[in-house]
């Protein structure tokens, strides 16, 4: 498949996936499925800010949802989920818009900047803009002023997909809730602080300190093998607290890694030069891309293979994409 065709197909699938996830968490849309996993709100927000550039209504409804549910969100984690300058500027613009709608110190910190002289169109394809939204202009993006629709709802705390929100109501918005979410949903019998740091978006030291407190409270088990501390959650006890059976707890997905890979690939596919370079050079660029995301893919359990053949390298990229889409349940989505 040509790069442009693959790019359009991928973005359509990812837009549909994002609609499906947010519809289950209170965004103004009709849910057509019940996801079996626990979602990572901040990872999904940063991901959606990119894919919804092709779907302005999704972008605007997401901001409305964020305004309604802002107390349940971690600004620190939003910034930690950014993988490049595009992510950082989209996140900064969204936080600046939220701060304008609901002035709070935690939202406004670091968002007061002078608007760049050259603004980039936010939406693809470009939409005609008269007046620009100042919050987005401050981060370098051109879009029309946005007023909240006030149609979003709080997430269903009892739904599998909303486990993160329920744990935040119990443990607070912070590292403890994220560490427990990962420990409860992962199929691994134990995890170390380094793996939990990658899964939660917090520094290893913060994770270690949080787990020490949870262990002292008797809600997380800690044991040492050699010099390494390992952690596990009592799924039976936590399931009882949450009013479910242990086998009814949501599934785990490595959302920060999987959604980061998809953004890397999507932005790479949208490079104009891919349409004009030779197959050999395109293959070399694809190999570099796969090497760049190999760490995240390995962490998420997605295998990659190296190949010297241009055709094989391109097929490897398509196979990786297919595997990631299957894992997140987006392989057969029909675009809205």
DSSP 127-151: ---SS--HHHHTTTEE---------
Q: What is the mean pLDDT of residues 218-238?
A: 91
Query: In terms of DSSP bridges, do strands 191-192 and 120-121 run parallel, antiparallel, or are they unpaired?
Result: unpaired
- Residue 29, classed as helix, strand or coil, is coil
Lowest mean pLDDT among 53-67, 74-88, 278-292: 278-292
pTM: 0.94
pLDDT of residue 334: 40
20-69 tens-digit pLDDT: 999 999 998 988 889 999 999 999 999 999 999 999 999 999 999 999 99
Taking residue 228's Cβ as centre, other Cβ atoms within 10 Å add up to: 10
Q: If pLDDT is split at 50, 70 and 90, which confidence band does 317 have?
A: very high
Contact 185, 223 (CB under 8 A): no
Task: Tell me the three state secondary structure of residue 121.
Answer: strand
Take residue 197 and report the two structure tokens written for it. Answer: 């740091």
Q: For 113-134, what is each residue's pLDDT tens digit?
A: 566 778 999 998 877 777 889 9
Could you tell me if residue 296 is left (phi over 0), alpha (psi between -120 and 50 degrees) or otherwise beta?
alpha
* pLDDT on residue 308: 66
**Is 120 exposed, middle or buried (CB count within 10 Å of its CB: 0-12, 13-18, 19+)?**
middle
Which CA distances in Å does 130 have to 127, 141, 143?
A: 10, 13, 8
Q: Tens of pLDDT along 96-117? A: 999 999 877 567 665 555 667 7
């Amino acid at each position: 498949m040509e790069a442009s065709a693959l790019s359009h197909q991928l973005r359509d699938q990812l837009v549909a996936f994002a609609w499906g996830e947010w519809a289950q968490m209170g965004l103004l849309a009709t849910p057509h499925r019940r996801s079996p996993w626990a979602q990572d709100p901040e990872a999904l927000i940063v991901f959606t800010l990119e894919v919804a550039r092709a779907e302005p209504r999704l972008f605007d409804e997401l901001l409305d949802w964020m305004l309604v549910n802002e107390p349940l969100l971690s600004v620190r984690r939003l910034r930690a989920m950014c993988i490049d300058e595009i992510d950082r500027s989209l996140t900064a613009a969204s936080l600046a818009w939220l701060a304008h709608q609901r002035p709070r110190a935690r939202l406004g910190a670091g968002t007061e900047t002078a608007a760049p002289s050259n603004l980039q169109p936010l939406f693809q394809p470009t939409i005609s803009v008269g007046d620009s939204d100042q919050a987005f202009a401050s981060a370098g993006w051109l879009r029309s002023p946005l007023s909240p629709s006030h149609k979003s709802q709080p997430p269903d705390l009892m739904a599998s997909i909303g486990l993160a929100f329920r744990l935040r109501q119990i443990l607070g918005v912070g590292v403890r809730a994220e560490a427990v979410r990962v420990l409860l949903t992962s199929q691994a019998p134990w995890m170390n602080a380094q793996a939990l740091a990658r899964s939660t978006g917090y520094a290893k030291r913060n994770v270690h300190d949080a787990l020490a407190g949870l262990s002292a409270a008797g809600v997380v088990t800690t044991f040492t093998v050699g010099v390494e501390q390992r952690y596990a959650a009592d799924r039976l006890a936590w399931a009882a607290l949450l009013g479910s059976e242990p086998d009814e707890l949501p599934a785990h997905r490595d959302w920060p890694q999987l959604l980061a890979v998809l953004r890397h690939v999507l932005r790479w596919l949208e490079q104009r030069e891919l349409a004009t370079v030779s197959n050999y050079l395109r293959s070399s660029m694809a190999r570099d891309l796969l090497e760049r995301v190999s760490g995240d893919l390995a962490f998420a359990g997605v295998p990659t293979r190296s190949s010297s053949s241009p055709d094989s390298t391109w097929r490897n990229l398509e196979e990786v994409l297919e595997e990631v889409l299957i894992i997140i349940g987006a392989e057969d989505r029909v675009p809205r």
